């Protein structure tokens, strides 16, 4: 089981960029282009890791600490996420609180790094980032509360293992509402359409991407890899909550979950291709919907 | 107990010496600060011993005051509050020796030293007193000495106004406490704490305590004095007031809870409701502030809200026989008392450094201070992360415990019982998210980027006495973050005395909570190690490559000026706009009308909604309706003597009849 307990982490570390590749490829195909190879995100990271760096004269050590803390906090959060049939590397009462707050720490550090540049664009992105995630946080924790109440466990690995067909059959409304809330939180926290457009060419309209304008080289690689891990983390929770399609042992379940992740990535790509971004003023309302959904999920 | 008496005497000596040597500047610093530091060190020894589980001690000296006695008792609860009082006061005294120097030319420095000694002593007696008369006298001394400290810069109109608000609010609270203690002592004819035994109407007593002590602690809507008084005081006094003085309100509430017998569920519900409104409104109002110290003061309201949430969750758990919920809730609340003392004192001292170096507290006039004041900046960062409840620092540990209690309660209590738990979970999450927003704003705008004004450009780090205390406090934040589990385990005797649960049950609950806290701390340690390794790896990798410096990428614009940076009010604007229903921010914008506009202005100001929409109209209407009594007040002594004579006469006649 030693190999098994490391498996969720290893899979995440290895395949998170691939998920980004799948999303990008889906969008290209829908747009009628051939698109980049699925492995392009890995090559991008490789290239960035071997570059030098340019730092702004305005910045201080905070700017250099930002990407490091961002990546470390996401790596640590991933050790708490189970995947497929395998429990997470570490699991204890209240571990999902730690997941939420590790992500808050990551956000804290990137926001400060953005403010360190003194750029008004990056300040703007930072401001939006803290606004939207402050509203996403109650939805995230209430969703966890709904899952905890439903499964009567307060640790992520046991909660996700306890979600079975019979649990779904018994309380499908709760699980589906939680899924919907988590999905909105995922979109907001990961800078996806309809909250944010990671590929826009206008800095004024960006959130996450505009915060990291000044990072370059290895720093930017850490930011990009961290973003991929964060997407993976949320998607893994969502796949864990979704109805379990598997039969058989943990390995089979892992394979099914992996397929689920890729389907999820394709679905994200399809959503991004078929939807426009919301106006920024509408985003808090979307997040409010997430809070209401998760509150309903708890109440049911 | 001898050590504590000596420590009280040392505070007294420090106070007297400050008055005697008022004209000698060096003696003032020596004796004024020396009294507090020596007294605190002396008192810390027994306080820490009892807090860690030594036998409670008491001391009783007969007193001529009716119903009163000089009765001190050091038990686990007093000791737990006494430790931060002594610690923070000693550090504030060290800081004050340097901070007050700036006022030497214009102000007499004897009063602040005198009153700081008195304040320290009175806070110590408040948590030690075991007799209601002694308690109330110490309580009043505490209020008055802090009033004189708040009004130190009394040449400013705003400071006098703040002091006045504080005085009124203090006495409003004390009035409720008077009634409370009279009712408590009525049945037994004794005002000694040990002999209170209220049989009936405990609910009313709870409400009296809630209002009386809640005013001191700063529960919404009784918090209105807090954001006025704390910024007005000198920074080391703000630190003492925000970090430990308002906690005496929490102490009082907990102490009264131990007298009232079995706790009822609705007390917990009430405290959760108060905690939610204090927490959310506190952090929202903080977010809307432009003045750094005012922002910090509102964060005290927020943190008191978090403490109230912990106590509320604990009480609900206790009333439903959920031992773990009760134990973890109280443990979180108590630990947050200690944690908030550490990081709030730290932040106020650093805010003092900023005000000292730049002569402004206006966030939008600062910027780029991290390069000019590296020590202040680094410690402020620790405080900001800790108060936002981020791992691996102490703020996360206490919030984690409250979350843990609420999640456990949400799972094990039925649909009805889990309502306060779920409210606490979502409230804490919102508060946490908003606190991150608020402190990225405070740290980011003040310390990062480029200076936004002349005064920030020429800022300099103050000398060691003003920076070292912040480092001590930052180390404390990190230590509790990394070794929180042992602190949690040591809370056993305290929690069983407050909740009345069996020590074994409490120890079991604490062990379970400490187990999780230990894992959290392990994560913290790994995080620090990994961050260090990763930074090292990057440095190594970059050593062989080209690393260049350039201007900030401003989307093609190569000469951005400091004034083009994002400002604090713009940073907070999306959130303040989302919550404008609660905040009622007033905005003044002179629009751009001509083709070639010369100048446009924008101001925004957020008043305290309770102050402007509740207390101000209330007090105005009281003034109006009571106006007919004005003719009684003519300001002539003879007339007042006449009033006294008439009153006496009426009383005599009444007695005869």
In chain A the first and final C-alpha atoms are separated, in Å, by 36
- What pLDDT score does B551 carry? 86
At how many degrees (to 10) do helices B568-578 and B418-447 cross?
Answer: 160
Taking the CA of residue A119 and the nearest CA in chain B, the distance in Å comes to 6
Q: Which residues, in sequence order, are CB contacts of B129 under 8 Å at separation 6+?
A: B71, B72, B135, B138, B193
Residues A46-65 have a mean pLDDT of 94
Output the CA torsion B271→B274→B278→B284 (10° steps): 120
Question: Is residue A67 scored above 90 in pLDDT?
Answer: yes
Q: Does B391 touch chain A (CB under 8 A)?
A: yes
Sequence-ordered strand ranges (E) for B458-499: none
> In terms of CA atoms, which chain B residue is nearest residue A117?
B449
When CB atoms are compared, the residue of A65, A108, A120 closest to B564 is A120
SS3 A53: strand
Rounded Cα gap, residues A224 and B54, in angstroms: 53
| Confidence at residue B412, expressed as pLDDT on a 0 to 100 scale | 92
What integer pLDDT is reported at residue B602 of this predicted model?
Answer: 82
Q: Do the Cβ atoms of B429 and A62 come within 8 Å?
A: no
Structure confidence at residue A38 as a pLDDT band (50, 70, 90) = very high
Of the partner residues B391, B551, B570, the one whose CB lies closest to the CB of residue A127: B570
Query: Reduced to 3 states, what is the DSSP secondary structure of residue B548?
Result: strand
pLDDT at A1 over 60: no
> Which residues in chain A touch residue B538, judged by CB atoms under 8 angstroms apart?
64, 68, 218-219
Angstrom distance (rounded) from CA B575 to CA B568: 12
Q: How far is B309 from chain A (nearest CA, A)?
A: 16
DSSP string of B292-344, one letter each residue: HHHHHHHHHHHHHHHHHHHHHHHHHHHHTT-HHHHHHHHHHHHHHHHHHHHHH
What one-character-per-residue DSSP string does B228-289 give?
HHHHHS-HHHHHHIIIIITHHHHHHHHHHHHHS-SPPHHHHHHHHHHHHHHHHHHHHHHHT-
Crossing angle of the two packed helices A283-299 and A172-189, in degrees rounded to 10: 150
Residue of A nearest to B408 (CA): A154
The helix-helix angle for B202-217 and B247-259 (nearest 10°) equals: 170
Contact residues on chain B for A75, CB-CB shorter than 8 A:
530
Check CB contact under 8 Å for A52 and B545. yes
pLDDT given for residue B559 in this prediction: 73
Residue A201, pLDDT score: 63
Q: Contact A90/B554, CB-based, under 8 Å?
A: no
The pLDDT assigned to B36 comes to 96
Tokens of B565: 């940076």
Q: Which residue of B has its CA nearest to A54?
A: B548
Q: Kindly give, in sequence order, each residue whose CB lies less than 8 Å from that of residue A274, ignoring residues fewer than 6 positions away.
A: A30
pLDDT band, residue A277 (cuts 50/70/90): confident
Which residues 507-566 of chain B have a CB within 8 Å of chain A? 512, 515-516, 519-520, 523, 526-527, 530-531, 534-535, 538, 541-542, 545-555, 560, 562, 564-566
Interatomic CA distance for residues B83 and B151, integer angstroms: 27
CA distance A29 to chain B (A): 30
Sign, Cα dihedral of A10, A14, A20, A25: negative
Task: Characterize B240-253 residue by residue with b for buried, 16 or more Cβ atoms within 10 angstroms of its Cβ, and e for exposed.
Answer: bbbbbbbbbbbbbb
* Count of structural domains, chain A: 1
Interface test with A, best of B322, B329, B449, B517 (most A CBs within 10 A): B449
CB B47 within 8 A of CB B143: no
Q: How many C-beta neighbours within 10 Å does residue A20 have?
A: 25
Q: Do A108 and B530 touch (CB under 8 A)?
A: no
A244 near A253, Cβ under 8 Å?
yes
Contacts of A236 (CB under 8 A, 6+ apart): A8, A12, A81, A82, A83, A257, A261
Distance (Å, whole) CA B112 – CA B144: 12
User: What's the confidence (pLDDT) of residue B606?
Assistant: 87
Residue of B220, B337, B235 lying closest to B279 (CA atoms): B220
Task: Output the pLDDT for position B586.
Answer: 84
CB B530 to CB A72 under 8 A?
yes
Query: What tens digit of pLDDT does each residue of B541-578 get?
Result: 999 899 999 888 877 777 778 888 889 989 999 999 88
The pLDDT averaged over each successive group of 10 residues in chain B (657 residues) is 93 94 89 95 94 89 86 94 96 95 89 96 96 95 96 93 94 95 85 82 93 95 93 95 96 94 93 96 94 96 97 95 95 96 97 95 93 96 96 95 96 89 96 96 94 90 93 96 93 92 93 94 95 95 90 77 87 90 84 78 86 91 91 88 95 91
pLDDT, residue B421, reads: 95
Cβ separation B549–A76 shorter than 8 A:
no
Q: How many inter-chain contacts (A to B, CB under 8 Å) are there?
A: 252
Chain A hits for B434, Cβ within 8 Å: 134
- Strand B547-550 with A53-56, pairing: parallel
Euclidean distance between CA atoms A97 and B179, whole angstroms: 43
Q: Please give the Cα distance from B366 to B338 (Å, whole number).
A: 30
User: Cα–Cα distance between B167 and B164 in angstroms, integer?
Assistant: 5
Task: Note which residues in 15-44 of chain B have CB less than 8 A from chain A.
Answer: none
Q: What is the DSSP string of B581-632?
A: HHH--EEEE----SSS-----EEEE---HHIIIIIHHHHHHHHHHTGGGGGG
With an 8 Å Cβ cutoff, are A133 and B433 in contact? yes
Structural domain boundaries enclosing A263: 2-299
Cβ within 8 Å of residue B560, ≥6 positions away: A118, A119, A120, B551, B552, B554
Give yes or no for B378 touching A (CB within 8 A): no
State both tokens at B425. Answer: 């979970």
| Contact residues, chain A, for B572 at CB < 8 Å | 127
Q: Residues near B621 by Cβ (< 8 Å), separated by ≥ 6?
A: none
Determine the Cα–Cα distance for residues B479 and B471; give it in Å rounded to an integer: 12
Residues of chain A contacting residue B520, judged by C-beta atoms under 8 Å apart: 98
B 434-463: CB under 8 A from A: 434, 436-437, 439-441, 443-445, 447-450
Count other Cβ atoms within 10 Å, centred on residue A31.
9
The tens digit of pLDDT for each residue in A9-29 reads 999 999 999 999 999 999 999
Q: How far is B370 from chain A (nearest CA, A)?
A: 8
Question: Does B481 lie at the interface with A, CB-CB under 8 angstroms?
Answer: no
> Rounded to an integer, what is the distance from CA B584 to the centroid of its chain?
25
Question: Are A127 and B516 in contact (CB < 8 Å)?
Answer: no
Mutate to test the interface with A, among B381, B401, B426 (most CBs of A within 10 A): B426
- Tens of pLDDT, residues B328-368: 999 999 999 999 999 999 999 999 999 999 999 999 999 99
Nearest-Cα distance to chain B for A263, in Å, is 31
Q: Which of B371, B440, B520 sits opposite A126 (nearest CB)?
A: B440
Cα distance from B247 to chain A (closest Cα, Å)? 26
Q: Which one of A71, A92, A116 has the shortest CB-CB distance to B534?
A: A71
Residues of B in contact with A148 (CB under 8 A): 407, 410-411
Residue of chain A with shortest Cα separation from B401: A94
Long-range pairs of B552-559 with CB within 8 A, sequence gap ≥ 24: B552/A56, B552/A57, B552/A58, B552/A59, B552/A117, B552/A118, B552/A119, B552/A214, B553/A56, B553/A117, B553/A119, B553/A213, B553/A214, B554/A119, B554/A120, B554/A121, B555/A121, B555/A203, B555/A213
Between CA B270 and CA B256 the distance in angstroms is 16
Contacts with A, B 574-593, CB within 8 Å: 574-575, 578
As for the ipTM of the complex, it is 0.95
The residue behind tokens 């001391």 is: B59
Contact at CB, B425 and A145, closer than 8 angstroms: yes
Strand pairing category for B602-605 and B70-74: unpaired
Query: A241-259 pLDDT, tens per residue?
Result: 988 766 667 888 888 899 9
A contacts of B559 (beta carbons < 8 Å): none
Task: Report the gap between the CA of B524 and the closest CA in chain A (Å).
Answer: 9
CB atoms within 10 A of CB B416: 9
Query: Tokens 């490559």, residue?
Result: B545
Record: contact B571-A123, CB cut-off 8 A: yes
CA gyration radius for chain B? 26
Q: What are the strands, taking DSSP E only, across A49-88?
A: 53-56
Q: Do A98 and B391 touch (CB under 8 A)?
A: yes
Nearest to B303 by CA among B242, B351, B346: B242
The whole-number pLDDT of residue A181 equals 96
């Amino acid at each position: 089981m030693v190999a098994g307990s490391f498996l969720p982490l290893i899979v995440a570390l290895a395949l998170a960029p691939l998920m980004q590749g799948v999303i990008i490829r889906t969008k290209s195909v829908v747009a009628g282009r051939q698109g980049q190879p699925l492995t392009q995100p890995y090559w991008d990271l490789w290239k960035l890791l071997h570059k030098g760096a340019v730092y702004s004269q305005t910045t201080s050590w905070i700017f250099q600490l930002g990407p490091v803390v961002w990546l470390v906090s996401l790596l640590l959060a991933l050790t708490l996420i189970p995947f497929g049939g395998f429990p997470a590397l570490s699991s204890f009462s209240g571990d999902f609180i730690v997941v939420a707050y590790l992500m808050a720490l990551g956000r804290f550090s990137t926001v400060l790094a953005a403010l360190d540049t003194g750029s008004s664009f990056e300040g703007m992105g930072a401001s939006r980032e803290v606004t939207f995630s402050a509203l996403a946080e109650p939805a995230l924790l209430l969703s966890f509360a709904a899952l905890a109440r439903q499964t009567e466990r307060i640790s992520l690995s046991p909660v996700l293992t306890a979600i079975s067909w019979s649990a779904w059959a018994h309380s499908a409304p709760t699980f589906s509402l939680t899924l919907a809330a988590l999905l909105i939180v995922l979109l907001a926290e990961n800078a996806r359409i309809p909250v944010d457009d990671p590929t826009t060419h206008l800095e004024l309209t960006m959130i996450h991407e505009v915060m990291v304008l000044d990072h370059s080289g290895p720093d930017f690689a850490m930011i990009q890899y961290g973003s991929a891990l964060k997407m993976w983390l949320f998607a893994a929770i969502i796949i864990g909550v979704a109805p379990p399609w598997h039969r058989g042992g943990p390995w089979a379940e892992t394979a099914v979950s992996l397929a689920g992740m890729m389907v999820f990535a394709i679905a994200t790509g399809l959503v991004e291709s078929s939807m426009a971004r919301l106006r920024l003023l509408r985003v808090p309302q979307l997040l409010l919907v997430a809070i209401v959904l998760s509150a309903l999920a708890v109440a049911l | 107990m001898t050590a504590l008496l000596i420590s009280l005497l040392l505070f007294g000596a420090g106070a007297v010496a400050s008055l005697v040597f008022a004209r000698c500047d060096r003696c003032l610093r020596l004796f004024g600060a020396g009294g507090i530091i020596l007294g605190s060190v002396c008192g810390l020894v027994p306080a820490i011993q009892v807090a860690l589980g030594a036998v409670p001690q008491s001391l009783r000296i007969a007193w001529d005051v009716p119903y009163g006695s000089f009765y001190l008792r050091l038990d686990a609860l007093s000791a737990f509050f006494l430790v931060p009082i002594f610690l923070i006061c000693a550090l504030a005294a060290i800081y004050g020796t340097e901070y007050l120097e700036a006022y030497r030319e214009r102000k007499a420095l004897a009063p602040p030293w005198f009153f700081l000694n008195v304040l320290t002593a009175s806070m110590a007696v408040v948590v030690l007193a075991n007799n209601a008369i002694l308690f109330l006298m110490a309580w009043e001394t505490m209020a008055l000495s802090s009033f004189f400290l708040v009004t130190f810069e009394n040449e400013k109109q705003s400071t006098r106004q703040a002091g006045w608000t504080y005085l009124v609010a203090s006495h409003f609270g004390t009035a409720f406490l008077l009634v409370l203690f009279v009712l408590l002592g009525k049945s037994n004819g004794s005002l000694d704490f040990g002999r209170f035994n209220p049989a009936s109407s405990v609910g009313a007593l709870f409400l009296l305590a809630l209002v009386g002590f809640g005013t001191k602690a700063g529960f919404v809507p009784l918090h209105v004095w807090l954001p006025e008084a704390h910024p007005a005081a000198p920074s080391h006094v703000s630190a003492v007031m925000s970090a430990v003085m308002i906690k005496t309100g929490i102490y009082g509430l907990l102490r009264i809870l131990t007298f009232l017998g079995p706790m009822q569920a609705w007390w917990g519900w009430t405290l959760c409701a108060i905690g939610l409104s204090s927490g959310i409104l506190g952090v929202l109002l903080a977010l809307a502030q432009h003045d750094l110290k005012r922002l910090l003061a509102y964060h005290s309201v927020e943190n008191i809200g978090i403490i109230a949430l912990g106590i509320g969750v604990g009480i609900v758990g206790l009333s439903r026989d959920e031992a773990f919920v009760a134990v973890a809730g109280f443990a979180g609340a108590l630990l947050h008392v200690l944690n908030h003392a550490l990081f709030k004192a730290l932040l106020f001292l650093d805010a003092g450094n900023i005000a000292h170096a730049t002569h402004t507290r206006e966030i939008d006039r600062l910027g780029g201070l991290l390069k000019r004041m590296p020590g202040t900046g680094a410690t402020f960062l620790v405080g900001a992360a800790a108060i936002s409840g981020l791992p691996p620092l102490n703020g996360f540990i206490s919030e984690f415990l409250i979350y843990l209690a609420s999640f456990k309660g949400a799972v094990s209590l039925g649909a009805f019982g889990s309502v306060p738990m779920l409210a606490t979970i979502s409230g804490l999450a919102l508060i946490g998210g908003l606190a991150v927003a608020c402190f990225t704003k405070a740290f980011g705008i003040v310390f990062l980027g480029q200076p936004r004004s002349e005064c920030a450009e020429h800022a300099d780090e103050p000398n060691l006495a003003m920076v070292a205390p912040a480092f001590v406090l930052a180390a404390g934040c990190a230590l509790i973050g990394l070794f929180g589990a042992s602190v949690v385990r040591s809370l056993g005797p305290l929690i069983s005395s407050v909740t009345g649960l069996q020590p074994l049950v409490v120890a079991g609950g604490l062990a379970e909570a400490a187990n999780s806290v230990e894992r959290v701390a392990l994560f913290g340690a790994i995080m620090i190690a990994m961050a260090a390794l990763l930074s090292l790896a990057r440095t190594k990798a970059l050593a062989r490559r080209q690393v260049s410096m350039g201007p900030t990428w401003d989307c093609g614009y190569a000469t951005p000026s400091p004034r083009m940076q994002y400002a604090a009010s713009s940073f907070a604007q999306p959130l303040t706009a989302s919550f404008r229903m609660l905040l009622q921010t007033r905005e003044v914008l002179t629009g751009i009308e001509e083709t070639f506009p010369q100048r446009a202005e924008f101001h925004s100001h957020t008043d305290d909604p309770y102050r402007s929409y509740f207390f101000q109209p209330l007090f105005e209407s009281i003034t109006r309706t009571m106006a007919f009594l004005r003719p009684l007040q003519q300001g002539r002594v003879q007339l007042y003597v006449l009033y006294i004579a008439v009153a006496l006469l009426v009383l005599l006649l009444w007695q005869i009849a």
